[in-house]
Amino acid sequence: MEHGVKSRRRWRKLHLALDADSGDIIAHVMTDQEAGDASQVEPLLDRIEMPIGQFTADGAYDGNPTCEVVARHSADAAVVIPPRSNALERPDSHPPSQQDRHIAAINADGSMKWQIATSYKKRTLVETAIGRYKSIIGRRLRARSFAAQQTQVAIGCAVLNRMLACARPKSVRCKAVTA
């Protein structure tokens, strides 16, 4: 290696699956910069043993492959992904697919009402988790090999889950006693 020449930096992508109720990271996959987002749905779901109720993601995950992978993992799961702006309903599909129902709802009531009706805004929990990871664990990977970096990410996710569990209040609703 020549003196003074910097090596090329490689990006890593962290894909997370969260429990929307608790905020816990239930699965994670780290990839290099060439891996597409939608290609990581199956590896993420393979790490989740229980069925899921809803799969919510941004538009990068839109498409039949994502819906098929989610259906194989959890047949009854709702897939909430905003359709592309030029997406059209398929009149020949009976019963209409989840994507067709989303397109119809957006066309009828608008995007904001669709987001509220489908709880799409829960997707921001993942963005919050990524921000929490970067601010607490750090923005950089210190390990050099890809396998060691995957281990570092796994430890970071476990640390975040432990910290959330410590800070989460455990409250129980009690019946008020009237005299």
pLDDT at residue number 179 = 64
User: Is pLDDT at 141 greater than 60 in this prediction?
Assistant: yes
What average pLDDT does range 109-120 have in this prediction?
A: 89
- pTM equals 0.76
User: Is pLDDT at 10 greater than 90 in this prediction?
Assistant: no
User: Is pLDDT at 142 greater than 90 in this prediction?
Assistant: no
> How far, in Å, CA of 48 to CA of 27, rounded?
7
The residue length of the chain stands at 179
> How far, in Å, CA of 69 to CA of 75, rounded?
10
pLDDT at residue number 139 = 85
**What are 35-66's pLDDT values in tens digits?**
888 888 899 999 999 999 999 888 888 888 88
How do the domains of the chain map onto residue ranges? 12-167
User: Is pLDDT at 70 greater than 80 in this prediction?
Assistant: yes
What average pLDDT does range 16-31 have in this prediction?
A: 88
Which of 49-53's residues contact partners 24+ apart within 8 Å by CB, and which partners? Answer: 51/76, 51/77, 52/77, 53/77, 53/78
